[in-house]
Structures are given as structure tokens and as C-alpha cells.
Structure 1
């Protein structure tokens, strides 16, 4: 085998790896699009069900009557308020806290009314009940946006690695659970 043959073999190998990487990127883009479509469909089906909101807040020092206060008494004003539904009830350590071995927090995956899905981290206010009647309104209140729900939120610990099928299954379970609650 000559040096030219070895060089050509490396070129072929590199081209093959580039083609495979491009195929993988395309597959991931297609899966992400399918998941977006599933989330939009689920949000439509859930629109009349549930009584939860994701409330994004920010610190405000000069407010006489702030709508939210954390345990230390810091004041918070509402930045946005959106309907949501809990899709997966999980706990974990936030990515930025992993190296410091931060606390394990209840951090469910929420579907917002616009079809976006993300992981809720209760910083600093957590889950709040705003009324005490039968149709209790729950608020997921945080000073940070939802972390995008990624593949690892659905495939970790699962025997099935098909991201789209796992998301579809979780969304279907959530729709059925909310429908069942509405019939009570």
C-alpha cells in the first residue's frame, strides 16, 4: 500500500464520517420538529383542562405591595404569566449545580400554552396554591425561564431510546390524567 493509497483511505473515512454526522444532525432536526408538533397538539387538547400557570418573576426592590415574596422577604414582580400543564413529575439537580453537588429539587417538565416544553426549577418561590376551593389554581413561580426539556429528560432510565415515542407517550399520559381530573 502506497502513501497515496493511505491518504485516499483517510479521505474516504473522513467523508464517510461527515456524511454520517450530517445524517444524524438531520435526524435530530426532524425529531425536534415532530416533538414541537406533538407539543402544539397536546397544548390544544389541554387548553380547556387544568388550572396551572407558569409565572416568571423578577426581583423588585421598590414595591409597596409585591405579588410575591421569597422566604427571605425579597420582593418580586410578574414578568409573564402563561397557562401550563405538568407533563413529567421529576426531581433532579440543576445542570449548573451538578459540579457543586447542589440540592435535589422537585423540577417537573411543563408544557406551556404556546406548545413549548421545559423543565421548571423552583427558584426562588416554587409551587404556590392561589385558592383553596375545589378548582385550586396552582402557580409554578420562578425567577428563571424554563430549561428546554431535552432528550435526557425523557430517555434517562428508559429502555426505549426513541425520543419522539417517549415524548408522545408522556404527553398522552398527561392528556388522559387531565381529562380524568376534569370528569371528577
Structure 2
């Protein structure tokens, strides 16, 4: 009990020396600085979302790049809304693989950018299932600094440049 009587006054004295700070007080400049810092911390906080979508596609060969093409798509993707994409794949039909770049533009104009790893699965002599891994390396707007992977499938038919592509994956931003 003696120890409690000695410790209690010490605790009370140390608490009496503490000053309460009201974070809502201060000059407008101080308040704005605190709000700006809080907003910056919120923007730095990253979260991961699942996405999926379906696109109508149109492929055009690039004569200047052997095995090269431009593939444009228009469709709907969860979390991005009505979206478009543009791919620049380079395919090696003999190796049944390819690489390339992709840009997906969301309904509000924000973009996801990254690289493509492509595997071709022959269906006929002129038709292939295309399996694509899109590795997200960044973006613009809310996708600045984004990462993630989106996997897709499409059918490549050398006799018909139109097709459909389906995507599923995750984006962290």
C-alpha cells in the first residue's frame, strides 16, 4: 500500500504536466497542411481489386515488324467500366509464343500499362487459342504506380481479324 501511495502522486504529477492539443485548432495554413498530409497518406494506401471483362477485338498485322500486330479491343471491365485496350504483340508462330505491350484505358481516361507474355495453342493450321498474361507495370491517374496481373484468352484466326477476348485478374493501386 505504501508503494501505491508513492507511485500515485508521481503518476498524477506527470499527467498534470501533459498538454492537450486540439487538432482542429490552428491557423488556416496549419489546418490545410494537416489535411494535405492526411490526403497524401490516403493516396499512398494501396488496395487490390479483382477485375474481369469481355472485349470485341480487331487485329491488324504490322508489316514493319515480322510477327507484329496491333490488336484493339472495346468492351466492359469491372472496376474500369467501358474500356478499350491496345496491344502490340510480336508472335513467333514456330515457337508458339510471343511478347508485347498493352495499354488499357478505363471509362474516365485512366490507363493501365504493362507487358504481355503470350502462349499460342494450335486449333487448326490458321487458328490458335491465345493465352495472355498481362503484367501491369504502372499507369496514369488513379492507376499511377499500379501493379498486378490480368489473364486473358482469345482466338487468333488468320482468316478473320475480328474476335472476342475475356480477361480476369487483379490490380493493386
TM-score under structure 1 length normalisation: 0.25
Larger relative contact order (C-alpha < 8 A, sep ≥ 6)? 1
Question: Which of the pair is proportionally richer in helix?
Answer: 1
TM-score under structure 2 length normalisation: 0.26
Question: Which of the pair is proportionally richer in strand?
Answer: 2
- Which protein has the larger Cα radius of gyration, Structure 1 or Structure 2? 2
